Amino acid sequence: MNFNRDVLSSLILIGIATIYLTQILSLPPPFITEEPGPALYPLMIVFVIYTSSFWILLKGLKGGGKALFMKGLSRPLAFIILSVLYISILTSIGYFLSTTLYTLTIALMFDYGKRRIDKSLAYCSIVAVLVTLIGYVLFEILFGVSLPKWGI
């Protein structure tokens, strides 16, 4: 049996479609007398996803999909974790501190291995402060949008 990206993706899609289907079951029936109800259209979508995903699954099991193992996923994973943290703290610690920390860590990820660590830290800190300031000027000063302050 080939367990490749096609197989994995189709299994995840079938899972998503099943969760979606459980929600459809809580809606009024597809046809209320002769009127189409809110469940009709989602049922059609689920049908398309199920049939197409099974097709991909069968094709994947026969072979042909890309190998499951992916190199270099640690950096994207780090970015996702950083973004989760950023969204979590944005409104509690405010725009300036959260954005400076967030952009600093992303800059460090892009700068990694390009210069000595102390120089990289100094360079990325300047980038982070500048990016944060530009964001402040663009959103708050030019477009008059209120950014989250500390403790708000």
Partner 1 sequence: MAIEIINWLIALLQPIVFISFLLGFLIGLIFGIIPGLTATLAIALLLPFTFGMETVQALATCVAIYASGIYGGGITGTLINIPGTPGGAITTLEGYKLTLRGKAAKALTHGAFSSMIGGVLGTILAIILLEPIARASLVFQTHDKFSLVLMAIVVVSVLNTESIVKGIISTALGLMLATIGIDPLLPIPRFTFGVHSLTEGISLIAAVVGMFAVSEVLRQIEVGLDLSELAKRGHQKISRKELVPKREDFGKIGLKIYPKSALIGFFVGVLPGAGAAMAALLSYAEAKRSSKHKEEFGEGSLEGIVAAETANNAMCPGAIIPMLTFGIPGDSVTAVMLGVLLIHGLIPSPYIMFEKGNVVGPMLVGLIISSIMCYVSLLILGPLYAKILNLKGTVLYPFIAMIAFVGVYTATFSIPQLWMALFIGVATYLLSKADYPSVPFLMGYILGPMFENYLRTSLSISKGNPLIFLTSPLSAIFLLLAVIFAYFLGVRLSRVMKSIQ
Site for partner 1, rule CB under 8 A: 5-6, 8-9, 13, 20, 23, 27-28, 31, 34-38, 40-42, 45, 48-49, 52-53, 55-56, 65-66, 70, 72-73, 75-76, 78-80, 83-84, 86-87, 90-91, 95, 99, 102-104, 106-107, 109-111, 114, 123-124, 127-128, 131-132, 134-135, 138-139, 142-145, 147-148
113, burial (CB in 10 Å: exposed 0-12, middle 13-18, buried 19+): exposed
Cβ 83 to partner 1, closest distance in Å?
5
Tell me which residue of 17, 148, 13 sits closest to 90, measured CA to CA: 148
C-beta of 151: minimal distance to partner 1 in Å? Answer: 15
Residue 114 CB, shortest distance to partner 1, in Å, is 8
Burial of residue 40, with CB atoms counted within 10 A of its CB: 0-12 exposed, 13-18 middle, 19 or more buried: middle
Residue where the block lists tokens 């490749």: 4
Q: Which helix (H) or strand (E) holds 121?
A: helix 117-136
